[in-house]
A and B are shown apart, each in its own frame.
Chain A
């Protein structure tokens, strides 16, 4: 049994909130640069150049890449041999988020009630996802999620007879419907299988996976490649002004499901796809 004090967790989350918002991960930067090199449409090249200049300014000056510094999605992979001591884990996560968004001059974008609204003023509560895994370590990932893209996400409960074609058509439908709204080029997270709620979680987890990795099953790895290519034939382009680069990455996550169903969720991210992890 290894003991981890809640104050250490709060400290790490505070740091990750700031770093994730100021510095894009290298897989995202590399993908943007690769797409810029392949882009052949004039206005699209100009947009991608500005996007690159933007994350370079954010890196140099330690300022947020985007003003929508998101809801703080916090993923905790807790080793089953870890004992969390010193207080309430959720409180510690929210304390970390509160301090990170304050000290990092990040935008407070959370309302206390979905219908009656009212900004909480400190960007809490975080969306907390916990998973118990083997081992004695705690892996923390902070993925600030902007809502321009979140709002364009969808889920559908397919009949199994819809098959692979149903999934393919749906992914294209979601991207087409999103159009210019989620600040393309996008990153597309797809969750297939599980239950209604698990499919959505898979889609979100797909967005946390680096886009230079592929699904371990070659069947889905091929599907990732094929769908990214198809999306980039839609012509929406960077910012929707036309061009090749509509998406810079597409990840799929899957789970077994029921004999009667085939849930599929598509979670959209923009080119400011942020995630930062640390292991305690």
Chain B
């Protein structure tokens, strides 16, 4: 199903999204990958606040190329989500419900998604030029020293995504492939 989704990703909204849905996402998202997640989880462990409000937030696993003069952002496609698996349940436990990336997730992440009504969206890996066109603004929030891995706030319009894993744990990687193979029989 094709759906236009307006953020923030409330629990109610998250529950309406199903694995395999093609989604056009509009609203504010935050960027972070390996090094940023490590810092955020260490901050939470020390009892500190995160540099952004995680409640109902969506995090895009991306390290964009530098913006050329006149550009909002450089190419900005997803990175492999599995490297954030160690941190994702902690992030969900403080309210960050949406994740945008690509690639398989560990069972622990899916378990946390069921518990906190999380949604895992896939963006097309390797389509950085196309995805950059949906990003209308970009603002540095924290961790500037991490360069491409810094924490940024983005405003996206109609970002083309697919729900890979929904809040009930349904998984397009498993179901989509199985359906295709079944049809080939």
Listed in ascending order, the chain A residues whose CB lies under 8 Å from chain B are 41, 43-44, 46-47, 50-51, 53-55, 57-58, 61, 63-69, 105-109, 119, 121, 148, 151, 179-181, 183, 233, 235-237, 239-244, 270-272
B161 CB to nearest A CB, Å: 11
Q: Is the CB of B126 within 8 A of A54?
A: yes
A223 CA to B20 CA, complexed, in Å:
35
A63 and B82 within 8 A (CB)? no
Q: Please tell me if the beta carbons of A57 and B129 are within 8 angstroms of each other in the complex.
A: yes
Chain B nearest CB: distance from A68 CB in Å? 7
Q: A241 with B173: in contact, given A57-B129, A63-B74, A105-B74 (CB under 8 Å)?
A: yes
Q: In whole angstroms, how far apart are the Cα atoms of A236 and B180 in the complex?
A: 9
**In the complex the two chains form, what is the Cα distance from A270 to B64 in whole Å?**
18
Indicate which residue in A41, A57, A105, A239 contacts B122 across the interface (CB closer than 8 Å).
A239
CB pair A179–B130 under 8 Å, yes or no, is no
Q: How far is the CA of A243 from the CA of B76 in the complex (A)?
A: 25
Nearest CB of chain A from residue B86's CB, rounded to whole Å: 16
Contact B77 A66 (CB under 8 A): yes
Q: Is the C-beta of B94 less than 8 angstroms from some C-beta in chain A?
A: no
In the assembly, what is the distance between CA of A181 and CA of B22, in Å?
19
A242 to B80, CA, bound (A): 18
Contacts of A69 in B (CB 8 A): 65
Known: A108-B148, A148-B125. A50 touches B177 (CB 8 A): no
Cα–Cα distance between A242 and B19 once the two chains are bound (Å): 13
**Do A235 and B177 touch (CB < 8 A)?**
yes
The one of B68, B77, B82, B175 in contact with A105, judged by C-beta atoms closer than 8 angstroms, is B68
Contact A183 B125 (CB under 8 A): yes
> Taking the complex as formed, is B104 at the interface, i.e. its CB lies under 8 A from any CB of chain A?
yes
Asked, given contacts A64-B75, A239-B102, whether A41 binds B126 with beta carbons under 8 Å apart, the answer is: no
A107/B66 contact (C-beta < 8 A), A50-B124, A53-B130, A65-B128 known = yes
With A54-B124, A107-B148, A148-B125 already in contact, the answer to whether A65 and B177 are too (CB < 8 A) is no
Q: Is the CB of B126 within 8 A of A181?
A: no
Q: Distance in Å from the Cβ of A123 to the closest Cβ of chain B?
A: 11
Say yes or no: A43 contacts B63, CB within 8 Å: no
